[in-house]
Structure 1
Amino acid sequence: MKAAIRRKYGTFEAISVEEISNPIPKDDEVLIQVKATTVNRTDCANLTGKPFIMKMMLGFPKPRKVILGTDFAGEILELGKSVSSFKKGDRVFGFLDMGLQSQSELLTIKEDALLKIPEGIDYTLAAASLEGAHYAYSFIHYVSINPGQKILINGATGAIGSALLQFARLFEVEITVTSNSKNFELMKSLGADKIIDFDKEDFTKSAEKFDFIFDSVGKSTFGACKPILKDSGIYISSELGPNAENIFYALTTKGSKSKKVIFPIPFSQKKTMPYILDLLKTGKFKPVIDSTYPLDEISKAYQYVLSGQKTGNVIVTI
Structure 2
Amino acid sequence: MKAIVCSKYGPPDVLQLKEVEKPVPKDNEVLVKIHAATVTMGDCELRSLKFSGVLKFLMRLGLGFRGPRKKYSILGQELAGEIEAIGNEVTLFKKGDPIFASTGFHFGGYAEYVCLPEDGTVAIKPDNMSYEEAAVVPTGGLEALHFLRAANIEKGQTILISGASGSIGTFAIQLAKYYGAEVTGVGNPNSLEIMKSIGADKVIDYTKEDFTKNGETYDVIFDVIGKSSFSSCIGSLNENGIYLLANPKMVLVNREKKAAKKTNKKYISGNMDDKEERIEQLNFLKELIEAGTLKSVIDKRYPLEQMVEAHSYVEKGGKTGNVVITI
Interval of TM-score (by shorter of Structure 1 and Structure 2) = over 0.9
Residue identity matched to 1:156: A
- Aligned residue for 2:232? 224
Q: Structure 1: which 5+ runs fail to align?
A: none
After superposition, the CA RMSD in angstroms is 1.7
Structure 2 residue ranges without an equivalent (≥5): none
Q: CA deviation digits over 1:106-165, x for unaligned, max 9? A: 111111222111222210011011111111122201112233221111111000111111
Amino acid at match of 2:231: G
Q: Secondary structure at the match of 1:177?
A: strand
The match for 1:211 is 219
Structure 1 residue 267: Cα displacement:
4.5
Question: Contact between 1:240 and 1:247, CA under 8 Å: does it hold in 2?
Answer: no
Q: What TM-score comes out, normalization by structure 1 length?
A: 0.94
Distance of 1:202 and 1:172 partners within structure 2: 25
Whether contact under 8 Å (2:183, 2:201) holds in the other structure is: yes
| Alignment partners' CA distance in 2, 1:225 and 1:172 | 23
Aligned equivalents of 1:50 and 1:279: distance in 2? 35
Structure 2 length-normalised TM = 0.91
In the other structure, the counterpart of 2:287 is 278
Q: Is the 8 A contact 2:123 2:279 kept in 1?
A: no
1:280-299 alignment runs, 5 A limit? 280-299=289-308
Q: Is the 8 A contact 1:293 1:301 kept in 2?
A: yes
SS at match of 2:104: coil
Q: Give the 3-state SS of the residue equivalent to 1:161 in structure 2.
A: helix
Partner of 1:163: 171
**What is the CA–CA distance in structure 1 between the aligned matches of 2:194 and 2:33, rounded to whole Å?**
33
Q: Identify which of 60, 68, 72 aligns with 2:65.
A: 60
Instruction: Give the whole-Å Cα distance in 1 for the aligned partners of 2:48 and 2:87.
Output: 34
Counterpart CA distance in 2 for 1:257 and 1:224 is: 14
Note the alpha carbon deviations across 1:1-28, whole angstroms, 9 max, x for none.
Answer: 1101011122212100101111111111
CA shift at 1:297, angstroms? 0.3
CA contact (8 A) 1:250 1:263 kept: no
**Residue 48 in structure 1 maps to residue 55 in structure 2:** no
Measure how far apart 1:252 and its partner are. 5.4
Indicate yes or no: 2:136 matched with 1:128.
yes
1:45 and 1:54 in contact (8 A); partners too? no
Large movers: runs of 4+ above 4 Å: none
Percentage of identical aligned residues: 38
Counterpart secondary structure, 2:106: coil
Matches of 1:22 and 1:41 in 2, distance apart?
A: 27
Tell me how far apart the structure 2 counterparts of residues 97 and 123 of structure 1 sit (CA, whole Å): 19
Match of 1:166, SS state, is helix
Distance 1:286 1:12, change over 3 A: same
